[in-house]
Amino acid sequence: MIQTLFGSLDEPEKKSIFDRMKQAVSRTRENLEQRIEGIIALTREVDEATLEELEQSLIASDLGVTTTEEILTTLRDHAKRQRIRDGAELRQLLKTEIKAILDQQDRPIRAVSGPQIILLVGVNGTGKTTTAGKLAAVYRSQGKSVLLCAADTFRAAAIEQLEVWSQRSGVELIKSKQGGDPTAVLFDAVQVAKKRNFDVVIVDTAGRLHTKGGLMAELDKMRRITQRLIVDAPHEVLLVMDATTGQNGLQQARLFTESAGVTGIVLTKLDGTAKGGIAVAIARELNLPVRYVGVGEKIEDLLPFDSEAFAESLLGGG
């Protein structure tokens, strides 16, 4: 399954990913669609009341008041200028607007010569360890040699958890003991990867709240240690965020970016009913692209992000 899904990461197999993304967020879509449909049935013209209802739909999807208002302002403006009168057109326009925000900053993953270092960071319990395991399988399926690094030495049984994932994905693990220095394990892992020419190192870090200065400084230190060993590393710092996250997600993204230099988002648990709309707010404010979405607890439940499918699924139609 994973083979067909991730035949190539750069050029995803359009159809299956699209379908799965769609399926994963279909609940989201149905909800929004129902609401929008309901609105549109009520009014034949696109009037202020319609837009107000649309506003509520977006807020209910966790886009946040500010982002919603800005999107709506643009939409209102365009709708007027283009004399949009029916709901389908308006929906299409809204979709384009949301997709544009998500695409704005979509830069490709930097190519490197040495091992590519990927750091997974985020607040507690979002799915970092699980994503590390899934991601290892993704790269493995592309024929890359992968090393997992257990840099969460704090949480109970975090190392054992990643160990299971390393077995599942058939990937080697570098670890130390609980209570050990996370920077030291990271250092070891990068050294090993350099010496033995691994293609990718995926680093699982301990969950931490962005408000804890000391713990955030630790991430900064980890980043610098990596840099010392490989000049342009870490190549990806992925902020793993739970799709149920509300407005606090924005502050998470801000502060993790400050300390850890986040390059992209992984939106997990999108198989639930939460919509992950905060990702739109983050993209808009911080220019951070969503790289992957988590859609379950199994190894194959990680998909590359497809803004088309996401926006499409959010709003339906097309």
Binding site for Mg ion (CB under 5 A): 128-129, 158
| 126 in contact with ligand GTP (CB under 6 A) | yes
User: What value, to the nearest 5°, has the Cα angle with vertex 247 and ends 307 and 98?
Assistant: 25
Picking from 66, 64, 70, 68, the residue whose alpha carbon sits closest to that of residue 53 is 68
- Residue 291, judged by CB atoms within 10 A of its CB (0-12, 13-18, 19+), counts as buried
297 binds ligand GTP (CB under 6 A): yes
164 near ligand GTP, rule: CB under 6 A: no
Which listed range, 8-16, 88-96, 113-121, 157-165, lies at the site for other proteins (CB under 8 A)? Answer: 157-165
Helix, strand, or coil (residue 58): helix
Residue 60 touches other proteins, criterion: CB under 8 A = yes
Contact pattern from residue 6 through residue 45 relative to ligand GTP, giving x for each residue in contact according to CB under 6 A and a dash for the rest: ----------------------------------------
Beta bridge partners of 116: 200
Q: How far is the CB of 287 from other proteins (least distance, A)?
A: 18
- Distance of alpha carbon 46 from alpha carbon 83, whole angstroms: 9
For residue 165, give both structure tokens: 């994932």
Question: Which residue's CB is nearer to other proteins, number 4 or number 248?
Answer: 248
- Nearest residue to ligand GTP, scored by beta-carbon proximity: 207
Q: Please give the structure tokens belonging to residue 284.
A: 């808009």
* Residue of 89, 106, 271, 285 that binds ligand GTP (CB under 6 A): 271
Of 158, 173, 189, 314, the one binding ligand GTP (CB under 6 A) is: 158
Task: Please report the DSSP string for 186-226 in residue order.
Answer: HHHHHHHHHHTT-SEEEEEE----TT-HHHHHHHHHHHHHH
Judged by the rule CB under 8 A, the positions of this chain that interact with other proteins are: 27, 56, 59-62, 64-65, 123-127, 154-158, 160-161, 163-165, 178, 209-214, 216, 242, 244-249, 251-252, 269, 271-275, 278, 297
